[in-house]
């Protein structure tokens, strides 16, 4: 079974803090994705990566950066957390033409 | 740009009954993939069913089936013999068949309640 894990299920941070969300997949997938999920807005793509050290902006990259130093690991970084970044963050991975597999999500609260 | 629309924010179904969730999409492409994902409360999002646009036959997975109308750009999900475990958010998603594209586009979701 494909496994996608995320470093935290729940996280509480203060405004201005640097926040790291980590995602690990165990299926040797080329593609990895970070989404933000908000009620009424569905899933919005923040960044994705199609190979190690390769990344592309999604639809809402502002305020976020990513890092992919190893194939199995994809990190989302909030350089200076703000209250409007309070949300559910979902990581996903897929091989080239296959279905995306999702992690359990990280619910982030920025105070 | 492609869009995915789920016009039903919430639906209810009686246990053992059948329910259909709607999804429409807009694209100028002829080659693409469509998906339905299920997100149970506080649990991981999982794939329910997948449809390749070039296939005329509607995809089926046990109690889940789709009605894929390519000309109408409609992709509805039918759940037969609904069970309490079917209660979840359901997301419709689109992915281009273009080999250089990795993006999925998701609808806003439909929350399904199953009544005992």
Question: B8, B14, B6, B12: which is closest to B83 by C-alpha?
Answer: B14
Res. B3 pLDDT band, cuts 50 70 90? very high
Q: Note which residues in 53-82 of chain A have CB less than 8 A from chain B.
A: 56, 58
- Cβ contact, residue pair A41, B43, below 8 Å: no
- Cβ contact, residue pair A43, B102, below 8 Å: no
Of A58, A94, A102, nearest to B44 by CB-CB distance is: A102
Of B44, B102, B109, nearest to A50 by CB-CB distance is: B102
Share of chain B above pLDDT 90, in %: 81
Q: What CA–CA distance (Å, rounded) separates B14 from B82? A: 7
- What residue ranges do the domains of chain B occupy? 3-115
Mean pLDDT value of segment A1-16:
91
- Cβ contact, residue pair A104, B44, below 8 Å: yes
Return mean pLDDT, chain A. Answer: 93
Tell me what pLDDT residue A101 has. 92
Q: What's the gap in Å between the CA of B106 and the closest CA on chain A?
A: 6
Mean pLDDT value of segment A29-50:
93
Which region among A51-60, A64-73, A90-99 has the lowest average model confidence (pLDDT)? A90-99
Is the per-residue pLDDT at B99 higher than 90?
no
Q: What CATH number does the domain located at B3-115 have?
A: 2.60.40.10
> Which residues neighbour A23 within 8 Å (Cβ) at sequence distance 6 or greater?
A4, A5, A6, A7, A32, A34, A73, A74, A75, A76, A91, A93, A103
Question: B110, B67, B61, B68: which is closest to B87 by C-alpha?
Answer: B110
Q: What CATH number does the domain located at A4-99 have?
A: 2.60.40.10
- Cβ contact, residue pair B45, A33, below 8 Å: no
């Amino acid at each position: 079974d494909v496994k996608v894990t995320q470093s935290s299920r729940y996280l509480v941070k203060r405004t201005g803090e640097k926040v790291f969300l980590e995602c690990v997949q165990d299926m040797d997938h080329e593609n990895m994705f970070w989404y933000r999920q908000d009620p009424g807005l569905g899933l919005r793509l923040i960044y994705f990566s199609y190979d190690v050290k390769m990344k592309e902006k999604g639809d809402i990259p502002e305020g976020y950066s990513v890092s992919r130093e190893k194939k199995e690991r994809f990190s989302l970084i909030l350089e200076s957390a703000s209250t409007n970044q309070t949300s559910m963050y979902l990581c996903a991975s897929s091989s080239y033409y296959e279905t995306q597999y999702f992690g359990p999500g990280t619910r982030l609260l920025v105070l | 740009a492609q869009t995915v629309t789920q016009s039903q924010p919430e639906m209810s179904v009686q246990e053992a009954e059948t329910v259909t969730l709607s999804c429409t999409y807009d694209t100028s492409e002829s080659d693409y993939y469509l998906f339905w994902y299920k997100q149970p409360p506080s649990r991981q999002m999982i794939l329910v069913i997948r449809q390749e646009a070039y296939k005329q036959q509607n995809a089926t997975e046990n109690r889940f089936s789709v009605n894929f109308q390519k000309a109408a750009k409609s992709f509805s999900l039918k759940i037969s013999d609904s069970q309490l475990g079917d209660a979840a958010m359901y997301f419709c998603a689109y992915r281009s068949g273009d080999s250089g594209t990795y993006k999925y586009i998701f609808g806003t979701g439909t929350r399904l309640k199953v009544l005992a």
